Amino acid sequence: MKVLCLSDLHRDPYDCTGAKEQANWIHRMITENNPDVVVITGDIYESCVRKSPYKLLHELCCGVKTICTLGNHEFFDFEVSYIHNWLTEMYKPEKFDVHYLDIVGHIDVGNVRFFGNVLWYDGSTKTDQRQEFPGWRICGWQDSRIKKFEPLLECTKCRTQILDNQPEKGQIGVLCTHCIPHVDLNMHIMGWSGGSPYDTYSGVANFLEDVTATYSISGHTHKRTIGKMIAGTACINTGNHYAPPFEHYLLEIEDATI
């Protein structure tokens, strides 16, 4: 099974030139690699998008089965529950082969189970012990825009959903999260010497030690990490930027059946 891994596309429908350039790049990656599945780990669209992301992603990924997670940017200016309800109401798998794991919990493709969600952070990955959590004002983190946001509560919900959707016996587990599931994957691409003030919002420090997965695909930090082994899990963060050159990774699962 070939899985095209993407993340942090930050697509803005009002930036027509940049969005078109990125779309052309994705179409080229799909044509060249012929993936069975496209996985996009969050921050796909900015919160200003009001069209159905299912239709948009169906077109963007050329009709290839697309499995996504939400990212923190998708929630800006709304409550977490509102975005979940909005995506649940619009979900039409019979029409668009596009699936948000935050909504459905998991998707099985042959003997491979894709499971995960945004995996909100809990402050455990911070590198500066003096930093408050949440310390929105200290580093200007825009997640302060999310309405009625309680990160510790939402992180607990995410952890519970992931643990409840782990692979069954005989399945290959692919954990897909926006935020990182282990501190060893930390460091924002814009990190300063000694760590980034954003590290406290990177993810959960030791989650890979609690979950069963052969592969972990994440995003959020924009820092590329490929093949790092943590707790028996091969970890992938494609990394990406707000502008070219865009990043991708082709994961080939040899023991998979389709």
Position 52 scores a pLDDT of 87
Model confidence, pTM: 0.95
Strand partners, 115: 106, 175
Q: Using one digit for the tens of pLDDT, what is the confidence trace for 9-50?
A: 999 766 655 788 999 999 999 999 999 999 999 999 988 677
- Average pLDDT estimate for 47-75: 92
Span of 50-59, 61-70, 131-140, 164-173 with lowest mean pLDDT: 131-140
Kindly list the structural domains of the chain, giving each domain's residue range(s) and its CATH number in brackets, ordered by start: 2-252 (3.60.21)
Helix (H) or strand (E) holding 249: strand 249-252
**Burial status of residue 162 (CB atoms within 10 A of its CB: 0-12, 13-18, 19 or more):** buried
Extract the tokens encoding 84. 């979940």
CA distance 198 to 218: 16
Query: Is the model more confident about 6 or about 142?
Result: 6
Position 12 scores a pLDDT of 78
CA distance 172 to 109: 10
Is the pLDDT at 189 greater than 70? The verdict is no
Q: How many residues does the chain have?
A: 258
Position 35 scores a pLDDT of 98
- Residue 189's CB is within 10 A of a number of other CB atoms, namely 14
CA distance 243 to 246: 7
Q: Using one digit for the tens of pLDDT, what is the confidence trace for 163-187?
A: 999 999 999 999 999 999 999 998 7
Exposure of 166 in the CB half-sphere (CA atoms within 13 A): 12
* CA nearest neighbour of 210 among 228, 187, 226, 233: 233
Question: Exposed e or buried b for every residue in 38-54, given b needs 16+ CB within 10 A?
Answer: bbbbbbbbbeeeeebbb
